[in-house]
Structure 1
Amino acid sequence: MTASKIIKTVRGIYATEDFIPLHEPSFNGNEKRYLLDTIDSTFVSSVGRYVDEFEQKIESYTGCEKAVAVVNGTSALHVALHCAGVKNGDFVLTQALTFVATCNAISLLGAKPIFIDVSSVSMGLCPKALAIYLDEHAFLDDNNVCRLKSTSGRIKAALPMHTFGHPVELDELMAVCDFWGIELVEDAAESLGSFYKGVHTGVTSSFSALSFNGNKIITTGGGGMVMCNTKDRGKRVKHLTTTAKQPHPYEYYHDEIGFNYRLPNLNSALGCAQMEALPSYLKAKRKLAQLYREELNSSCYSFVEEPDYAMSNYWLNAVLCETKTARDALLKETNDMGVMTRPVWQLMHRLPMYKDCLRGGPLVESEKLEATLVNLPSTPPKAYLAECN
């Protein structure tokens, strides 16, 4: 299959000769009604019933004990890592194949990422590579704190990302982290609607982060959510993200340094409407993924499948090309013809601010994906949405 055949396939799916974006939001429900209700109420900022309702909808859908709405996915990651105990000077094990926000959140705390290779199974943090790195480069001190052999710096957490919505190998990662006394925090920004062995991503770890950016499965314009596996942890996150203000009828008393990360009621209203459509939206996305899978069968492009243990949301459909040259040709021809495709992110250690960070051995799988992966248009067509509603 050539690039021209992919273009023909995509245009056939979307039934248009116009520009086809990579992923765009869908507003087919109560979005306008809830937004107007918010405006009429005058509660458009950080207080209002839609904030509570949005958090409750995420809790009900995912099964997490407490969800706390925040302004974006980066702030959700920042708070999740902070509440997991990551401090200035610590190290956080993560993947080089990720969106830059993963590493930025680590850096906001004064911590440093250590880049571990990803798994060929999930495209997320590889548990085998993680275990090998820790066996070779870490030790447990007298207080059972995980430290680097080279500097005695503390390794506090591991931060895997569920790449394009495909869940990582959570059981294996948690076993490694438990052995070394490391906190596992999930970057679930892309994986709302994805399930690992029947359990939603992000609910097993103490803390995890969702994103509701305009290109995600559902959107609040901007926005994110911290998911916590206990109500006490959720209470702590809520306190910190509301400027650490103690409740009082009129006095302003803040008992520690906090964050003004509250998601406005206006954005939350949009999120409530989007959550109502999520089940049918996910069905439509799986229908789209199945069609890509069938069309790509016996071609020179390999469709990226969900892991056997998971049900993925297929946020972004992806193919693997045979070579980087083939990848570059596919990217150029599709974009030149008005079909938006994108490569995976440049690996984090190639960026100037992270070039000197430690690496946990060869990044073979990460470099392979960087060189060969292309994301295809992934918004469910309107006909699919109508069929799955």
Structure 2
Amino acid sequence: MSNSLISFFQDTFQSKDFIPLHAPTFDGNEKQYVNETIDSTFVSSVGSFVDQFEKRVSAYTRTNGAVATVNGTASLYTALYLSEVTMNDLVITQALTFVATCNSISQLGAQPLFIDVDASTLGLSPRALEQFLNENAIINDKNECIHKATKQRIKAAVPMHTFGHPCQIEQLATLCQQWHITLIEDAAESLGSFYNGQHTGTFGRFGIFSFNGNKIITTGGGGIIVANDIHDIKRAKHVTTTAKTPHPYHYFHDEFGFNYRMPNLNAALGCAQLEMLAHKLTQKRQLALHYQAYFKGSAFTFVSEPENARSNYWLNALICPSIEARDELLQTTNKNGVMTRPVWTLMHKLPMYKNSLKGDLSTSLWLESCLVNIPSSPIDIPTEHII
């Protein structure tokens, strides 16, 4: 299996050189737009491409507004801040996530509360969340969700659409509404993914996306906040622009704010990348179907999009039959120039989060032991190689 698998990856990507996990592609107007930005001299956080990028992302996600930031972590921190997450609050999230999710929570002095994921979505499980809340939480006379044992307020929930696969976000939204918990979607990996025809990141009060170099489209470094409440959008733009009040020359800041706005250079790159998004989504779906066919009937299970969802297939993944098979796959592929990786170390195993509250994490632990990401760069599959 090992030699044939290496050959399969090399044939798929038409390369015997190093095959990365996910490389950016620049096939459109990237150079033109970036050069226009340089020629205009508006290369920082003020410029026409920032406005264009925000409007285009808002239109694509069908939200009422978007605010571009320097990265996805800054977007999530801002969303939590505007949701009034404060010191000693609890914020529900998943242990199977990238560390930035938890870091954003911790930077506000709040604490993550880890709930298990669903095997079918890799995202926060509504069943596990409902069970945890029924057993461990109450609603007080202020309509706040309170953790019974610690008396801490459970202020927000941050599910992630893992690898671009939508979680069961409608069910999570219903639970959050019932328990007076603010829903913020970590949709960093899921631009172009939909649940029941609605774009990820649009079910909660806020949604955030990342445009890091390894995402489906990139601005080099960048993120964006989307929301439907116009007041939330205005506040997000204000606090991410150091809370400066508008004036031709006076500098007056009316509240605590952050220097988080996306530079025009990055937004120019993003505008060109957005023009190619539909094509990239087609390429990635074609690659996913190619993988699905190849691994069908093998010892490895390809992770397909969940029910009622359309995934962008940002990072393709395999479920290995055992941890031994996982380790053999990782060692063989990386030794032969094909980049693969295991899922992140679960957050509650990291030293800074080892004492965090958590529910039963059986599914997360199982996925940690057997899931492997495989090369996922958007490419055109040659017709003769389509299985």
Partners of 1:111 and 1:332 in 2: CA distance:
38
Partners of 1:281 and 1:384 in 2: CA distance:
15
Partner of 1:377: 375
Correspondence list, 1:353-364, <5 A: 353-360=352-359, 362-364=360-362
Partners of 1:133 and 1:357 in 2: CA distance:
15
Query: Secondary structure in 2 aligned to 1:22?
Result: coil
Partner of 2:109: 110
Partner of 2:324: 325
1:37-81, CA deviations, whole angstroms, 9 ceiling, x for partnerless residues?
Answer: 000000000100000000011011111111100000100100011
Tell me: CA distance 1:272–1:384, structure 2 relative to 1, closer, same or farther (3 Å).
farther
Q: Residue 342 of structure 2 contacts residue 372 of structure 2 at CA under 8 Å; is this kept in 1?
A: yes
Q: Residue 341 of structure 1 contacts residue 374 of structure 1 at CA under 8 Å; is this kept in 2?
A: yes
Shift of 1:377: 0.3
Partner of 1:41: 40
Partners of 1:97 and 1:74 in 2: CA distance:
17
* Amino acid in the other structure paired with 2:131: I
Q: Residue 287 of structure 2 contacts residue 381 of structure 2 at CA under 8 Å; is this kept in 1?
A: no
1:177-229, CA deviations, whole angstroms, 9 ceiling, x for partnerless residues?
Answer: 11110001000000000001000001121111100000001000000001112
Q: Residue 287 of structure 1 contacts residue 384 of structure 1 at CA under 8 Å; is this kept in 2?
A: no
Tell me if 1:226 matches 2:225: yes
Partners of 2:110 and 2:3 in 1: CA distance:
46
Partner of 2:339: 340
Correspondence list, 1:36-75, <5 A: 36-75=35-74
Correspondence list, 1:13-28, <5 A: 13-28=12-27
For structure 2, which runs of at least 5 residues remain unmatched after alignment? none
Shift of 1:382: 4.8
Correspondence list, 1:184-223, <5 A: 184-223=183-222
Partners of 2:91 and 2:365 in 1: CA distance:
21
Partners of 1:25 and 1:269 in 2: CA distance:
15
Shift of 1:332: 0.2
Partner of 2:250: 251
1:300-358, CA deviations, whole angstroms, 9 ceiling, x for partnerless residues?
Answer: 00000101110000000100000001000000000000000011000001100000101
Query: Secondary structure in 2 aligned to 1:152?
Result: coil
Partners of 2:107 and 2:166 in 1: CA distance:
25
Correspondence list, 1:92-103, <5 A: 92-103=91-102
* Amino acid in the other structure paired with 1:269: A
Tell me if 1:366 matches 2:358: no
Partners of 1:87 and 1:12 in 2: CA distance:
51
Partners of 1:308 and 1:204 in 2: CA distance:
17
* Amino acid in the other structure paired with 1:82: Y
| Identical positions, percent | 56
Partners of 1:348 and 1:267 in 2: CA distance:
30
Partner of 2:118: 119
For structure 1, which runs of at least 5 residues remain unmatched after alignment? none
Partner of 1:88: 87
Query: Secondary structure in 2 aligned to 1:161?
Result: coil
**TM-score by structure 1 length?**
0.97
Partners of 1:34 and 1:383 in 2: CA distance:
28
Tell me: CA distance 1:357–1:384, structure 2 relative to 1, closer, same or farther (3 Å).
farther
Partners of 1:376 and 1:204 in 2: CA distance:
29
Q: Residue 170 of structure 2 contacts residue 203 of structure 2 at CA under 8 Å; is this kept in 1?
A: no
Query: Secondary structure in 1 aligned to 2:63?
Result: coil
Partner of 2:236: 237
Aligned length: 383
Partners of 2:107 and 2:225 in 1: CA distance:
17
RMSD: 1.1
Tell me: CA distance 1:384–1:214, structure 2 relative to 1, closer, same or farther (3 Å).
farther
* Amino acid in the other structure paired with 1:255: D
Shift of 1:6: 2.0
Partners of 1:368 and 1:329 in 2: CA distance:
17
* Amino acid in the other structure paired with 1:335: N
* Amino acid in the other structure paired with 1:367: L
Partners of 1:86 and 1:167 in 2: CA distance:
25
Q: Residue 82 of structure 2 contacts residue 236 of structure 2 at CA under 8 Å; is this kept in 1?
A: yes
Partners of 2:365 and 2:249 in 1: CA distance:
56
Deviation above 6 Å: which 4+ runs of structure 1?
Answer: none
Partners of 1:130 and 1:200 in 2: CA distance:
22
Partners of 1:201 and 1:384 in 2: CA distance:
31
Partners of 1:85 and 1:6 in 2: CA distance:
49
Partner of 1:162: 161
Q: Residue 205 of structure 1 contacts residue 229 of structure 1 at CA under 8 Å; is this kept in 2?
A: no
* Amino acid in the other structure paired with 1:24: A
Q: Residue 204 of structure 1 contacts residue 229 of structure 1 at CA under 8 Å; is this kept in 2?
A: no
Partners of 1:303 and 1:113 in 2: CA distance:
30
1:131-166, CA deviations, whole angstroms, 9 ceiling, x for partnerless residues?
Answer: 111111111111111111112110000100000000
* Amino acid in the other structure paired with 2:204: S
